[in-house]
């Protein structure tokens, strides 16, 4: 059965939002009631999407889907309807749980609904059963759904528990979206370990500082820009035991300021395909291994192949992409090729590029090929190349180079309809041609030379 939410003391606080505090007993009751409601309304649904903001009901929906023995498909609420439609089709979602109904021809149920009674049928999850499908995007721009198994989620939570010393007494604050691995993984960790989970609808600096101070938050997961904003606003240690920072190396000035304030920053490396972190640099190592993501978390093994690419093997690694086995990147001896470049020095992992073309903007992954495909829809555009540019607030932002003549109004309409705002180029430069090799492949690293 889905035992995770059933194994903790009934009176212990399980979930806290700005509106409510739920004990494990109350959480279980609502999860079972929502599960029963879903079962009554859509008994044959197998893959259930969630398109909702962070909330109590979103967390309850995650558990309700698994109580039914169904596959969870979290969807990014920042995407356009066209992007959501593509992902729904790719994952073959047959039911969507929502805050408010959206304009798509698919059965939709509100996450706030409950049945009068609770679901009573027991589902027995097996280690290799696909439990969730989470989306990533490849360099082709085609959305891929990563299969994450029951065993993946369990192993990931236990690895975090062991490596970062998580306890049932921890108070874990989620300020990242639950449709991202950094947010969703904490829902599973709290349920498996028994920690109290605090869920916020979004990242708000003052609200986060207030919770850290008044609620005694011990665990918090961030990206660098969030850490910077908290430091600027006066973040102090209070009861914090771990500030887990992903999405790329933490800049040295941030680490030094965190050290000055005795803040326990832990830099981490992981991806959707590895069900969250596979290497983490512990706080007491932060300054002695600047730029490192730490040692691999046992039993995960990390190696660097002859091309400098990071390869990973272990119980948290996906069993492959959903119905896209041609996209899987297994080696002959069972390692997953990440597409990231890195080195190992004295057992510590150093990540040099998060996929060479990837743009990480405010913690969001932005793939150039996806933007290029959208911009090529504009009449008069002959060729498009996207690269990244450093940005003081978002870390990195996309910049476009376009060959041809086009109507800027039409281009903006296409971007608005096809891509989330954070994927829009910060600037569009018109150029006579793009740098391509003899095979016609875009040499993306040379795009910025066009500006000189």
Query: Which pLDDT belongs to residue 356?
Result: 67
Asked if the model's pLDDT at residue 271 lies above 80, the reply is: yes
Neighbours of 318 (CB within 10 A): 22
DSSP for 14-62, written as a single string:
EEE-SS-EEEHHHHHHHHHHHHHHHHHH-TT--EEEEE--SSHHHHHHH
Chain segment 139-174, per-residue pLDDT in tens: 345 679 999 999 999 999 999 999 999 999 999 999
- Domains annotated for the chain, with CATH where assigned, are 4-353 (3.40.50.12780), 359-451 (3.30.300.30)
pLDDT-derived band at 268 (thresholds 50, 70, 90) equals very high
Selected residue with higher pLDDT from 372 and 158: 158
Angle, to 10 degrees, between the axis of helix 56-67 and the axis of helix 24-41? 60
**What does the alpha-carbon distance between residue 274 and residue 335 come to, in Å, rounded to a whole number?**
11
**Total-model pTM:** 0.85
pLDDT of residue 445: 77
Q: Answer for the pair 194, 168: CB distance below 8 angstroms, yes or no.
A: yes
CA 413 from centroid of its chain's CA atoms: 28
User: 8-63: per-residue pLDDT in tens?
Assistant: 999 999 999 999 999 999 999 999 999 999 999 999 999 999 999 999 999 999 99
Please compute the mean of the pLDDT values over residues 415-429 and round it to a whole number: 95
Q: Is the pLDDT score of 347 beyond 90? A: yes
Nearest alpha carbon to residue 338 among 306, 368, 312:
312
State which H helix or E strand residue 135 sits in: strand 130-137
The encoded tokens of residue 132 equal: 């969730």
């Amino acid at each position: 059965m889905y035992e995770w939410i059933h194994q903790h003391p009934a009176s212990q606080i399980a979930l806290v939002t700005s509106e409510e505090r739920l004990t494990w007993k109350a959480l279980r009751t609502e999860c079972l009631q929502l599960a029963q409601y879903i079962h009554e309304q859509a008994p044959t649904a197998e893959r259930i999407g969630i398109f909702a903001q962070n909330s109590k009901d979103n967390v309850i929906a995650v558990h309700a889907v698994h109580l039914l023995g169904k596959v969870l498909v979290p969807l990014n609420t920042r995407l356009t309807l066209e992007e959501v439609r593509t992902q729904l089709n790719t994952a073959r979602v047959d039911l969507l749980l929502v805050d408010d109904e959206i304009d798509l021809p698919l059965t939709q149920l509100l996450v706030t609904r409950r049945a009068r009674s609770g679901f009573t049928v027991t589902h027995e999850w097996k280690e290799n059963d696909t439990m969730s499908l989470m989306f990533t995007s490849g360099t082709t721009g085609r959305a891929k759904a990563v299969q994450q198994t029951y065993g993946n989620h369990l192993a990931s939570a236990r690895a975090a528990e062991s490596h970062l010393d998580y306890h049932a007494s921890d108070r874990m604050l989620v300020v990242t979206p639950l449709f991202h691995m950094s947010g969703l993984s904490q829902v599973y960790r709290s349920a498996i370990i028994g920690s109290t989970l605090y869920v916020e609808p979004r990242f708000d600096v003052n609200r986060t500082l207030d919770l850290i101070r008044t609620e005694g938050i011990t665990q918090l997961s961030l990206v660098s820009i969030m850490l910077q904003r908290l430091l600027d606003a006066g973040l102090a240690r209070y009861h914090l035991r771990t500030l887990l920072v992903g999405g790329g190396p933490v800049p040295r000035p941030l680490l030094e300021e965190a050290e000055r304030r005795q803040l326990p920053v832990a830099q981490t490396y992981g991806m959707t395909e590895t069900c969250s972190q596979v290497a983490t640099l512990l706080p007491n190592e932060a300054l002695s291994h600047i730029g490192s993501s730490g040692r691999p978390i046992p039993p995960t093994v990390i190696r660097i192949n002859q091309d400098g690419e990071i390869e990973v093997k272990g119980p948290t690694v996906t069993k492959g992409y959903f119905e896209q086995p041609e996209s899987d990147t297994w080696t002959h001896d069972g390692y997953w090729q990440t597409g990231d470049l890195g080195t190992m020095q004295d057992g510590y992992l150093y990540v040099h590029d998060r996929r060479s073309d990837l743009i990480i903007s405010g913690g969001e992954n932005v793939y150039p090929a996806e933007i290029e495909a959208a911009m090529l829809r504009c009449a008069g555009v002959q060729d498009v190349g996207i690269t990244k540019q450093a940005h003081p607030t978002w870390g990195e932002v996309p910049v476009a180079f376009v060959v041809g003549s086009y109507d800027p109004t039409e281009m903006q309409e296409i971007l608005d309809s096809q891509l989330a705002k954070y994927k829009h180029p910060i600037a569009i430069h018109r150029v006579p041609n793009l740098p391509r090799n003899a095979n016609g492949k875009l040499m993306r690293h040379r795009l910025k030379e066009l500006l000189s």
